Chains A and B, each alone.
Chain A
Amino acid sequence: MFNNLRRFVDKIKPNFVEGGKFAWLQSTFEAFETFAFTPNRVTKRGSHVRDAIDLKRAMIMVVIALVPAMLFGMWNIGYQTSLHATDWPYELGTTASFLYCFWFGLLRMLPMLAVSYIVGLGIEFTFAQIRHHEVNEGFLVTGFIIPMIVPVTTPLWQLALAVAFAVIIGKEVFGGTGMNFLNPALVARAFLFFAYPTRMSGDNVWIAADLWGTDAITSATPLAELAAGMHPSASALDMLIGTIPGSTCETSVIAVALGATLLLFTGIASWRVMLSVVLGGGLMGLLFNAIGANEYMQVPFYYHYLMGGFMFGAVFMATDPVTAAQTNTGKWIYGLLIGIFAVMLRVINPAYPEGMMLSILLMNCFAPLIDHCVVARNIKMRQHRALKLSKTVKS
């Protein structure tokens, strides 16, 4: 089958190269060809290869790592609704109910995924055609992540607007994938957060009331409960498994951990960033425990890992290779500060129940500066060492 496809692609290729009938569609053709087949070109000069793996394969690996969280999220959407809806058709705990929960979530997630990909890829292809670039791969992951980090009740037109904003303002104005300094998926979420606050925070946005509408059932997330000065009603175990209300697919720490394992095993995401984010969050949590001035500060520090999107952010967003710090020392500083700011925002600023998004965006802005300082310091140190060495040689 692949041979047939290869032959077909080769046959129609002359139409799309320079001088062909459809030369104006070159970028589009190129994108689909390299999506199906590993490109057979090699870099001839001035190579800047960091890894032998093509960017599209790396991106696919991230998508695979996201799948456990996505599947769990689909089930959880249905499960959360079944807990509160009065007209749930199956008795809880039965196989029928399990399947129906999953089905319910699937039907909610599919339109969101479709909107995200159609809008995002549409814009990417348009820009690539106008600029005669290749279509960049980055949106494969971005388009997958965006529906996972918004409330299930987000109307599709708002999602489409957020995706368009993220791709155009977050990425294309700076020159496309690799040139953006903010994580596009988080730009989309930040856009929704600030543009439509009533749809993004508060009690009644987390659980869908019915299959197609945007109506919701009132139920607070653990973060919202803490911000309101209460102890979270969900147990630590519930939060670890992820059977709590929240954004569509980021509630389960276990599912995220599965993805993290794959990313670390294949070496695609940086373990330094992940570890330092976790360390930073823990440190700040412990510090607040020591102060213990209010209910929120007294929450055991590991709760911060379980609540909200902390782990999802640490594994899939902070490690974005484009927007994270590039140097190894820089990664430690970058990650630690993300963790520290995330917990600080959660606990100290009641206006923003979730600090992970804002702290990653903030550190995205500072990542180039961190890298610059690390490199400058390194150069100075080596200079110093060389000078000292030359002095000893002379004497």
Chain B
Amino acid sequence: MKKLIIEPLRKTNPVTVLVLGICSCLAVTAQLKPALVMGLSVTVVTALSNFIISLLRKGIPNRIRIIVQLVVVATLVILIDQFLKAFAYDVSKQLSVYVGLIITNCIIMGRLEAFALSHGPGESFLDGLGNGLGYSLILVIVAFFRELFGSGTLLGYQIIPQSFYEAGYQNNGLMILPPMALIVVGVIIWIQRTRNPEMQENNQN
């Protein structure tokens, strides 16, 4: 059980190892707050959809399983979207279409196909939770660096003191641009693989 939650944070991380869910990683990580909300939303959707599909797995005809999965995921995503609009309107505005686009997030479909269809509801729920958290973890790390160096703030609070700016410090505009998210993710992958040599593919053949 512990393995189901801990492993996706590290060795089977959906973003850095499977390289899924990159688009939203570029889009919502310019600031920490939307990244946190996005990570939370995806975690909820992945966990619940995994749970529901796992319950239904015996009754779903194999040939239309994708449609059934989509219906479940779409329902959950719309619920989340409405929930955010009602209770966190500002963040919902910032995230704009990306909440709706959780439907197309590869991690969710991937876990449904690879795990929920062949495991019990309890396990599937934990697996969804773990993968959602693994995704959130990377999102938060990326957003932390991008907001800190791009805007000098964290969660909207000024972190880099005003005296730095007076001494000639400037915010790094590249951090705000989406390519930098890709580079930060790349650096995370680099560090992760350097620390775990067994994760490196053999390129000799």
Contacts and interface: CB of A to CB of B under 8 A. Distances in A.
B190 A197 contact: no
Contacts of B174: 191, 194-195
A173 interface: yes
Nearest to A173: B190
B168 interface: yes
Nearest to A198: B170
Given A169-B183, A173-B186, A173-B190, A196 B172 contact: yes
Nearest to A168: B187
A199 B170 contact: yes
Given A169-B183, A173-B186, A173-B190, A214 B168 contact: yes
Contacts, number: 24
Interface in B40-74: none
A191 B177 CA distance: 11
A158 interface: yes
A158 B190 contact: no
Interface string A171-199: 00100000000000000000100111111
Interface in A72-86: none
A194 B170 contact: no
Interface residues of A, number: 14
A20 interface: no
A195 B175 contact: yes
Majority secondary structure, A binding face: helix
B168 A196 contact: no
Contacts of A169: 183, 187
A292 interface: no
Contact of A194 (B168, B177, B190): B177
Interface string B91-112: 0000000000000000000000
A14 interface: no
Given A155-B168, A173-B190, A197 B183 contact: no
A169 B186 CA distance: 9
A284 B24 CA distance: 38
Interface string B164-189: 00001010111101000001001100
A155 B190 CA distance: 30
A392 to B, nearest CB: 40
A169 B174 CA distance: 14
Interface string A195-216: 1111100000000000000100
B173 A197 contact: yes
A196 B172 CA distance: 6
A213 to B, nearest CB: 10
A197 B175 CA distance: 12
A214 B168 CA distance: 9
Nearest to B189: A173
**In this complex, which of B172, B177, B186 has the most chain A Cβ atoms within 10 angstroms of its Cβ?**
B172
Interface of A: 155, 157-158, 161, 169, 173, 191, 194-199, 214
Closest 4 CB pairs of A and B: A195-B174, A194-B174, A195-B172, A195-B173
Interface of B: 168, 170, 172-175, 177, 183, 186-187, 190
5 contacts: A157-B168, A169-B183, A196-B170, A198-B170, A214-B168
